[in-house]
């Protein structure tokens, strides 16, 4: 098992497969690096080095009381890249992981990174405000907090349905995939999962996006019920200096089946370009 210890004493677990140019994956809430297993194998077999860490409080990483803040997540990612002495990195982030990648680039710069991928990512801001009328009302996130606090096991089981669009006609996501979402979610610490809700919903990444000058693939499903595309992917593509936007018609937040295959092809094409 590969781990390193951050400057505040938190042990971070990571998976490190293959050799070659590094592709580093940041996972969504409340999952772990395992959520990227398919894509890690994909890029590993294509000659890249695939790395994915478990965010603090998630998966097999340290489950402490403090530090569940977007700046800290970005600093943990920075320390991972420094620990492994990685350069010419492709950063890939899904959902909250896309926020982590964006804050890393805004906070630590692009010295070690040459490209980034934001998949169904939360930037620039999920919360509805006067300046962000297309965001989601605070009540949406209060309901998530209530679900995690009251009965997180049932909440995660229920969340898997809209996450994969299983409530849409014609959706073919398997029960096994939904159960695996529950399995990974239940590995997240309660305090970490609860605190992270404010981080993915209330963090404003607008200025971070404006600083990024490397090529960024922005990939988003137009039927994403968790992070709606209008205030997220479409807006991020507008704010980035060098963005390629890829919209998947009918795709939900969590990609499976044909949607996953379409993203996998775009991911390989982008990192190989």
Which residue numbers are catalytic?
95, 224, 253
Q: Which residue has the tokens 């137009």?
A: 222
Q: Would you state the structure tokens that stand for residue 36, as one six-digit string?
A: 């990227």
Rg for the chain (alpha carbons), in Å? 17
State the burial class of residue 150 (Cβ atoms within 10 Å of its Cβ: 0-12, 13-18, 19+). exposed
- Which residues does 255 contact at the CB level (< 8 Å), separation at least 6? 119, 120, 221, 248, 262, 263
Q: Shortest CA distance to 58 belongs to which of 166, 200, 164, 174?
A: 200
């Amino acid at each position: 098992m590969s781990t390193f210890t951050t400057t505040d004493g938190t042990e971070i677990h990571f998976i490190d497969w293959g050799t070659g140019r590094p592709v580093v994956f940041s996972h969504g809430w409340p999952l772990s690096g395992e959520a990227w297993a398919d894509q890690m194998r994909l890029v590993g077999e294509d000659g890249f080095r695939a790395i994915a860490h478990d965010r603090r409080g998630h998966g097999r990483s340290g489950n402490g009381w403090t530090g569940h803040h977007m700046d800290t997540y970005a600093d943990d990612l920075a320390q991972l890249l420094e620990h492994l002495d990685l350069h010419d990195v492709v950063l890939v982030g899904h959902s909250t992981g896309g926020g982590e990648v964006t804050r890393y680039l805004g906070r630590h710069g692009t010295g070690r990174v040459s490209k980034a991928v934001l998949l169904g990512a939360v930037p620039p801001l999920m919360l509805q405000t006067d300046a962000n009328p297309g965001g989601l009302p605070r009540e949406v996130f209060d309901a998530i907090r209530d679900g995690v606090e009251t009965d997180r096991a049932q909440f995660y089981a229920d969340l898997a349905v809209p996450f994969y669009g299983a409530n849409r006609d014609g959706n073919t996501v398997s029960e096994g995939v939904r159960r695996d979402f529950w399995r990974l979610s239940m590995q997240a610490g309660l305090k970490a999962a609860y605190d992270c809700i404010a981080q993915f919903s209330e963090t404003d990444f607008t200025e971070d996006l404006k600083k990024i000058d490397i090529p960024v693939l922005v990939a988003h499903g137009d039927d994403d019920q968790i992070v709606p595309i209008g205030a997220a992917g479409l807006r991020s593509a507008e704010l980035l200096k060098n963005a390629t936007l890829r919209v998947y018609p009918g795709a939900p937040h969590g990609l499976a089946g044909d949607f996953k295959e379409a993203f996998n092809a775009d991911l390989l094409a982008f990192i190989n370009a």
